[in-house]
Homo-oligomer: A and B are copies of this chain.
Amino acid sequence: MKLTIQVNEGPYQHQSADSAYYFAKAALEKGHEIYRIFFYHDGVNNGTRLTTPPQDDRNIVARWSELAEQHDLDMVLCVAAAQRRGIVDDGEAERNGKDATNIAPGFRISGLGQLIEGGVQSDRLVVFGD
């Protein structure tokens, strides 16, 4: 089964990002293919490398980055949502005149078409949100 996963909320405030992660992990372990994980709305906040959660808490961002590296995942942050929330890679920093970037490893910023394409190309779309 080919899956696209959509994440609508940021890390920590809502459990959505946790549920999406555990679902993705279980699907991969069962041999399914994840075509794409698309982060929309506040979901783009999953992709900042600047978080420092408490020592006794999970590191949601790092966990995504590791999963992406292990399984060569395509993790996309919606560009319009990322601009509104302040998630920036090198290209965005240059285009919008920002003096810093904060995107985490394993994420890329791209357009909403990537979500639609996920719907077209996958057998299932599973949405996690508030």
Residue ranges of A at the interface with B (Cβ–Cβ < 8 Å): 10-13, 41-42, 45, 48-54, 57, 61, 80, 83-88, 92, 96, 98, 100-102
- Contact status B13-A50, CB under 8 Å: no
CA distance A92 to B53 in the complex (A): 12
User: How many copies are assembled?
Assistant: 2
CA distance A88 to B86 in the complex (A): 13
Question: Which residue of B12, B41, B87, B101 is within 8 Å of A13 (Cβ)?
Answer: B41
CA distance A98 to B104 in the complex (A): 12
- Contact status B10-A85, CB under 8 Å: yes
- Contact status B53-A83, CB under 8 Å: yes
| A83-B54 contact given A13-B42, A42-B13, CB 8 Å threshold | yes
- Contact status A12-B85, CB under 8 Å: yes
- Contact status B11-A51, CB under 8 Å: no
- Contact status A102-B12, CB under 8 Å: no
- By a CB distance below 8 angstroms, the chain B residues around A41 are 13
- By a CB distance below 8 angstroms, the chain B residues around A49 are 86, 98
- Contact status B86-A61, CB under 8 Å: yes
- By a CB distance below 8 angstroms, the chain B residues around A80 are 54
With both chains docked as a complex, state the minimum distance between the C-beta of A119 and any C-beta of chain B, in angstroms: 23
With both chains docked as a complex, state the minimum distance between the C-beta of A18 and any C-beta of chain B, in angstroms: 13
